[in-house]
Amino acid sequence: MKHSLKDWIVATRPWSFPASAMPVIVTIAFLWASGVELNGWFGLWALVNIIFVHAAGNVWSDIADYRSGVDASDTFGVRTLVDGQFTPKEFKKLSISLNVIAVAGGVALVCLTGLPLLYIGIAGLLLSLLYPRLKYNALGDLVIIFCYALLPMTGTSFIVSGEIHWEALWLAVPVGLITVAILHANNVRDIETDQRAGISTFPMLTGRAFGAKLYAFEVLFPFVWLVGLAAFGIVPWWALTALLAFPVAWSNACTILAYQQGGKESYAALDEKTAKLQLIFSLLLAIGLVISVFI
């Protein structure tokens, strides 16, 4: 079957890319607001490269989910392989190609910046490849925190400035929690079908009621944390521009907390909605940080 460029792009699940792009953007904005001298071109390079890593990881994870029975004809979410739009062989080639591009870009950045980035990159690549197995053993949330908050924010600060600015990790809490909520929404929805596939996720261990409450915490607490950071002078008050995203977070939280009334269909697309929340929250945060430079 012949596929268009659009088909290949859609196969990588681009709606999820805010999870990887936003930590880079927020880190750059935070460092700029802190008066750190930055290499903008390296920052752009880091942004593009992490999206390739994310895309490769998405495809690799979809192959594992299809082969393990996590994705089936009666499950929600990704249906690219289940519906026969692509073959597993095509997906394997796509994942390898994306990984080659990402690794090549990462190695080039290491040569231009330094060895600390190599260690960060190796950790990220290994976690990406091991993600399906770790996710099937209730460790997916932990991997997400590292791959889409701690590692990219640490790596970005080194890439753009030549040193690691640990203070940027204060923002790993709100950014990371919202990203974890993307996976959490998916896992809360799929408890029964994941059990059938013989895997274990965190919501399976805690139950759907607690899982729904934990999701609500993951999307609402970032706003409390951000206010605290501003109150203690860690971020400028303009960073509170991100509070404009609160209605979206509140709507998402209310949706999953009402799961008993609405059923699975009512929050079937909550993972995508949470990715949009990540995009809105982090962009507003980055905009607020940039504004603080000029005002």
pLDDT, tens digit, 9 for 90 and up, residues 276-291: 999 999 999 999 999 9
Q: Which range in 150-154, 194-198, 256-260 is most confidently predicted, on average pLDDT? A: 150-154
DSSP class of residue 148 equals I
Residue from 120, 106, 226, 101 nearest 163 by CA: 120
- Cα atoms in the Cβ-side hemisphere of radius 13 Å centred on 63: 19
Structure tokens at 278: 């990540």
Q: Which sign, positive or negative, has the C-alpha torsion 219, 151, 98, 126?
A: negative
Look at residue 74 and tell me whether its pLDDT is greater than 70: no
Q: How far apart are CA 150 and CA 148, in angstroms?
A: 7
Q: How far apart are CA 145 and CA 190, in angstroms?
A: 21
Residue from 77, 74, 68, 192 nearest 136 by CA: 68
Residue 176: predicted pLDDT: 95
Tens-place pLDDT, residues 216-248: 999 999 999 999 999 999 999 999 999 999 999
Helix (H, G, I), strand (E, B) or coil at 155: helix
The answer to whether residues 121 and 155 touch, using CB atoms and an 8 Å cutoff, is yes
2's torsion region: left (phi>0), alpha (psi -120 to 50) or beta? beta
Residue 130: predicted pLDDT: 86
Topology of the domain comprising 5-294:
Farnesyl Diphosphate Synthase (1.10.600)
Q: How far apart are CA 192 and CA 251, in angstroms?
A: 25
Residue 77: predicted pLDDT: 64
Mean pLDDT of 141-160: 94
Look at residue 266 and tell me whether its pLDDT is greater than 80: no
Look at residue 22 and tell me whether its pLDDT is greater than 90: yes
Q: What is the percentage of the chain residues whose pLDDT exceeds 70?
A: 96
Grade residue 73 by pLDDT with cuts at 50, 70 and 90: low
pTM listed for this prediction: 0.92
Angle at 23 between CA 155 and CA 145, to 5 degrees: 85
DSSP class of residue 170 equals G
Tens-place pLDDT, residues 203-212: 888 888 999 9
DSSP class of residue 244 equals G
Tens-place pLDDT, residues 160-180: 999 999 999 999 999 999 999
Helix (H, G, I), strand (E, B) or coil at 137: strand
- Cα atoms in the Cβ-side hemisphere of radius 13 Å centred on 30: 29
Domain ranges for the chain, please list them: 5-294
Q: How far apart are CA 267 and CA 188, in angstroms?
A: 10
Q: How far apart are CA 72 and CA 60, in angstroms?
A: 16
**Taking all residues of the chain, what is their mean pLDDT, rounded to a whole number?**
90
